[in-house]
Amino acid sequence: MDDQLRRARFGWCLYDWANSAFATVILAAVLPVYFVSLVPVGGARLPFGGSHQFSASSLWGYSVSLSMLALAISAPALGALADRRGWHKPLMLIFCLLGCTATALLSLTSSGDYLPAAGLFILGNIGFAGSNIFYNAYLPWLAPATEADRLSARGYAYGYIGGGLLLAIVFLLILNSELFGFADRGAATRFGFLLTSLWWLLFSIPTFRLLPRTEKKPGSGKSISIKGYFALFRQLSNYRDLCLFLVAFLCYNDGIQTVISVSAVFAKEELQLGQGTIIGCFLMIQFLAMPGALLFGRLAGLIGAARAILLCLLSFALVCIFAYRMTSAGEFWILGGVIAIILGGSQSLSRSLFSSMVPPQKSAEFFGFFTISSRFSSIFGPLLFALIADLTGSSRNSILALLLFFVVGSVLLLLVDIPQGRRLAAVGDPDK
């Protein structure tokens, strides 16, 4: 491997280290708790909501869903533009700057600013997820198929460590706010948002210096336009088991992502847990997820990837039931430990199982479809969570409703004939 490629790969991995700060501090652990504190105890009223009062849980769920909807609608066109013009790097930078700016502005919010906070979170999440579209698109440029899994895993590792390290720093600042000269924990939390923005921005600089510019592809982009998206779906439907697995994954992955994105709000609103307890639990999850992925990787070697994923899904279903009934901080820590072990395994095994049933000559097309589809699926879990919390007045009912995603996903996964899917992938296009 030449030195330039090695440096480009390092820069690519470093971006996961950089932007995982947003995933841990803003999306998962710190902002959700802070957001609950901004919403009045009796609920919030929106300009277009009449006299209806929205709980913090429902507002947070709607915000997550809305940000994913905006990105899912724009992703095909953005992907086509990047491919045609070779603009992966500039567009990645634009979305990175959008996310960093919105995150920094969160530090200016104060009591009662739940609408500005929600708006800034939506912009920040669009920047975070949008930059990842172009970040992921670099993987085929940097590694052949035989090395892609290893480089991808390395990027995940950088992300777990970088995101976890910043979360630990912010955690210490909040717990020792007076020692560090802050007026209270709220001020320390807002400084944590600014620190997250700076972390993301500064560690991204080597990425944009080391990543090469991609080449223009004038004839590309057809498969990821809106029209091409549905054309590719029809093409993918020729591979029955691959298509069935994709639907199963989109279903249960929506449940997984929703559990992660709403658990801090749930802990604060329903369990009345303190900020230190919630952040500490997420910190544990961050550092246990990687060993969990390795553990399930070995388990998959013994019982097969599909059975190992089903074990993860059964565990997530039990997590929903347990969360519905839990009442104490100790139970929340137990739940966090379980999620930490099964989270990494469910994600890594799903990707590898999907790749094993993808025809080599259609790898880029189908993985592009996979990425865009996962953005669409991420809308429905948070939306269901928000609607049920809104209608019933309890996010416990919302957590229990997420069982649906894991049950349906498991049933669909059981219908997948993996050996047949792999044989069809090896043969090639069934239409030929």
User: What CA–CA distance (Å, rounded) separates 417 from 378?
Assistant: 26
Residue 88's Cβ-count burial label (10 Å; 0-12, 13-18, 19+) is buried
**Superfamily of structural domain 1-210:** MFS general substrate transporter like domains (1.20.1250.20)
Architecture of domain 232-427: Up-down Bundle (1.20)
Q: Give one word for 46, left, alpha or beta, with left for phi > 0 and alpha for psi -120 to 50.
A: beta
Query: Same topology for domains 1-210 and 232-427, yes or no?
Result: yes
Are 108 and 87 in contact by the 8 Å Cβ rule? The answer is no
Q: What does the angle CA 253 – CA 240 – CA 233 come to, to the nearest 5 degrees?
A: 70
- Strand pairing of 53-54 and 44-45? antiparallel
| Cβ-based neighbour number of residue 119 at 10 Å | 15
Domain boundaries, the chain: 1-210, 232-427
Q: Token pair for residue 185?
A: 């924990």
Taking alpha carbons only, the member of 17, 337, 10, 289 closest to residue 165 is 17
- pLDDT per position in the chain (432 positions), as tens? 688 899 999 999 999 999 999 999 999 889 999 999 999 888 888 777 667 788 888 999 999 999 988 887 777 677 777 777 888 899 999 999 999 999 999 999 998 899 999 999 999 999 998 898 888 778 778 877 567 667 776 887 788 889 999 999 999 999 999 999 999 999 999 999 999 999 999 999 999 999 998 877 655 444 455 566 666 677 777 888 988 998 898 899 999 989 988 899 899 888 889 888 998 898 888 888 778 877 887 888 888 888 999 999 999 999 999 999 999 999 999 999 999 888 877 877 887 788 788 776 666 566 666 766 666 667 888 999 999 988 888 889 999 999 999 999 999 999 999 999 888 888 765 555
